[in-house]
């Protein structure tokens, strides 16, 4: 028997229904704001529609910072990546790809920051925490952890989809990632 997960499109066309698209909710946490100045990724969460797909956290007890780039890359290619302010996250991923001597993975993505700006047409209050408060979305755990932020982004995404009457990934603002921009 074929599961619903196996019939969803990993690389959907813009006109593909959101319901038929494989969505991956993604977040990272870092030690700073700039990878080119020594900041590192210390936590990664990738969630599916209903469950966690991948989680990694740097072990503070180990001095070796072995970032699992290949595993993360493989997971991110299994669907459309959805995150909040993905430019920041992708900058760090691109930096790690360059460090290991490879190109970033071929990805399609939807940024909830851009989606919120388009739907809400406001000029302020687009941080993840502000948007959660606006929609009374409550999360288990502290914000600014990869897992909690990925869960929060998933809830925010579905709220924006509902509010905007969005039915396709194109309407949600899906784009193809160009790694040369990072």
Nearest to 148 by CA among 43, 5, 41, 39: 43
Q: In CATH, what number is assigned to the domain containing residue 23?
A: 3.30.420.10
Whole-angstrom distance, CA of residue 131 vs CA of residue 125: 7
Return averaged pLDDT per consecutive 10 residues of the chain, 182 residues in all. 62 93 96 91 93 87 74 92 95 88 87 94 80 87 90 96 96 88 63
Asked whether residue 182 is assigned to any structural domain, the reply reads no
What's the whole-model pTM score? 0.90
**Which structural domain range is residue 49 located in?**
4-176
- Give 101-130 pLDDT, tens digit per residue: 888 788 999 999 999 999 997 767 888 888
Asked whether residue 181 is assigned to any structural domain, the reply reads no
Estimate the crossing angle of helix 112-120 against helix 146-164, to 10 degrees.
30
Beta strands 108-111 and 80-83, pairing class: parallel
Res 3: pLDDT: 53
For residue 47, the cross-strand partners are 25, 52
């Amino acid at each position: 028997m074929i599961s619903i997960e196996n019939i969803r499109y990993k690389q959907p066309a813009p006109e593909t229904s959101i319901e038929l698209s494989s969505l991956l909710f993604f977040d990272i946490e870092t030690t700073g704001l700039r990878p080119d100045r020594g900041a590192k990724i210390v936590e990664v969460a990738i969630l599916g529609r209903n469950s966690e797909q991948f989680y990694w956290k740097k072990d503070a007890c180990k001095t070796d910072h072995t970032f699992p780039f290949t595993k993360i890359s493989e997971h991110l290619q299994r669907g459309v990546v959805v995150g909040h302010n993905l430019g920041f996250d992708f900058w760090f991923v691109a930096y790690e790809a360059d460090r290991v001597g490879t190109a970033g993975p071929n990805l399609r993505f939807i940024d909830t920051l851009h989606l919120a700006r388009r739907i809400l047409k406001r000029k302020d209050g687009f941080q993840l925490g502000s948007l959660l408060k606006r929609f009374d979305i409550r999360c288990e755990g502290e914000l600014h952890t990869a897992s909690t932020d990925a869960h929060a982004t998933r809830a925010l995404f579905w709220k924006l989809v509902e509010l905007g009457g969005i039915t396709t990934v194109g309407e949600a603002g899906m784009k193809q990632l160009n790694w040369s921009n990072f």
